[in-house]
Amino acid sequence: MFHVKQPISAFLYIMKTFNYTQAQSQRLICKGRLIVNGESIYNPGTKIDAGEVEIVYFKPSGKGQDPLFQTKDFMVFEKPSGVLVHPNTMATPYSMLDEIRTVSGDNANATHRIDMETSGLLLASKHKKAEHYLKNAFEIKKIKKSYLAWVDGKVEKSFFVDLPIKIRNDYSTCKHKVFLHEEGKHAHTDFIPLHYNTGLDATLIACYPTTGRTHQIRVHLFHVKHPILGDPLYGTTFDSANRYLEGELTEEERFVLTGAKRLMLHAQTLTFPYGAHYHIESKVDFEEMSKMICPKEKRVFNRDL
């Protein structure tokens, strides 16, 4: 709750109270986060009278995670599996944005997406100029990413998948967020097998996407019958996927039905220019994470779906 001392335009009050730019102030108001007399104000030019108002704003609460690497312009974090990059609702208790803004303030931001269940490198800007540059660099493919994945079965040779991906609109018969379709957007991923674990019947694969479509690596590996272990959507049954999305699938059920309690996908490297040329590699030993995979004899994973 905040106290307005005298009548003032809504956007000016937000600017003065939070030291925001006019654009930041207008965005906050247009999202309905300024509340007067119990109702959201959406017009930045609205005059608000003296009295009490409510303002919903993001106050970071980091857990003390330091960046893996940083400069005066950007920083790189090791994102854990199970953590969102940005809060998806005002009730989200914690996300990587908490760490990013705890380190570098309100103008810092993540510059790309990583699925909640994917772990690994997350590139964040420290100010708006850097954010604009890095987001544009992702758009024009100046930034290269690689991933590691533990997949079901034995992969012996390098290969690639060059098949378009389309967002699914109807989830009544399938819970996959995307699917391969000729009307979709172009998507290309190169894959190199690194190590086969005979006891687990699982292969560690390096993944090099040249495009950045939603769930691209997941759906491409599912297509070649080597789904990523722990994937609750691609490679499991409709019922299991639905129960996961409803929050009803237990950890033990997921362990047996998908091969792991988390998605076994890790963002391993980032390579990009920013004045100098940077190549940043994750310090996580993802090969050692094979210990998180369900033993072969206990898995009921169905790669033929």
Tens-place pLDDT, residues 49-59: 988 999 887 88
pLDDT surpassing 60 at residue 303: no
pLDDT score of 190 more than 60: yes
Domains and CATH numbers, the chain: 2-55 (3.10.290.10), 60-140 (3.30.2350.10), 144-305 (3.30.2350.10)
Confidence at 302, pLDDT banded by 50, 70, 90: low
Structure tokens at 156: 């012996």
What percent of the chain shows pLDDT beyond 70?
Answer: 98
pLDDT band at 102 (very low <50, low <70, confident <90, very high): very high
Comparison of pLDDT for 157 and 235, the residue scoring more: 157
The predicted pLDDT at position 301 comes to 61
* pLDDT at res. 31: 83
Model pLDDT, residue 284: 97
Whose tokens are 């050692």? That residue is 288
Question: Above 80 in pLDDT, residue 157?
Answer: yes
Cα–Cα distances (Å) from 65 to 97, 123, 202, in that order, read 11, 14, 31
Q: Report how far apart, in Å, the C-alpha atoms of 250 and of each of 88, 228, 254 are.
A: 23, 19, 6
pLDDT of residue 304: 46
Residue 38 CB burial class (10 angstroms; 0-12, 13-18, ≥19): exposed
| In contact, 134 and 280? CB cutoff 8 Å | no
Check pLDDT > 50 for residue 119.
Answer: yes
> HEC states along 165-195?
EEECCCCCCCCCCEEECCCCECCEEEEEEEE
Q: What number of other Cβ atoms are within 10 A of residue 194's Cβ?
A: 13
Q: What is the per-residue pLDDT for 305?
A: 47
Instruction: Work out the mean pLDDT of the chain and round it to a whole number.
Output: 93
Residues 6+ apart with CB under 8 A from 21: 15
pLDDT, one tens digit per residue, over 133-152 is 999 999 999 999 999 999 99
Positions marked active-site: 115
Chain centroid to CA 219: how far?
16
Condensed to tens digits (0 to 9), the pLDDT of residues 64-87 reads 999 999 999 999 999 999 999 998
User: 89-97 long-range contacts, Cβ below 8 Å, gap at least 24?
Assistant: 90/56, 94/61, 94/63, 96/122, 96/124, 97/58, 97/60
Beta strand pairing status for 2-4 and 51-55? Answer: antiparallel
| pTM reported for the whole predicted model | 0.87
What integer is the mean pLDDT of 102-123? 95
> How much is the average pLDDT of 236-244?
92
Residue 255 has pLDDT above 60, yes or no: yes
What token pair was written down for 301? 């994973």
* Residue corresponding to tokens 């991933």: 147
Strand-pair partners of 269? 146, 281
Distance CA 68, CA 77 (A): 5
Asked if residue 150 lies in contact with residue 203, where contact means CB atoms within 8 angstroms, the answer is yes
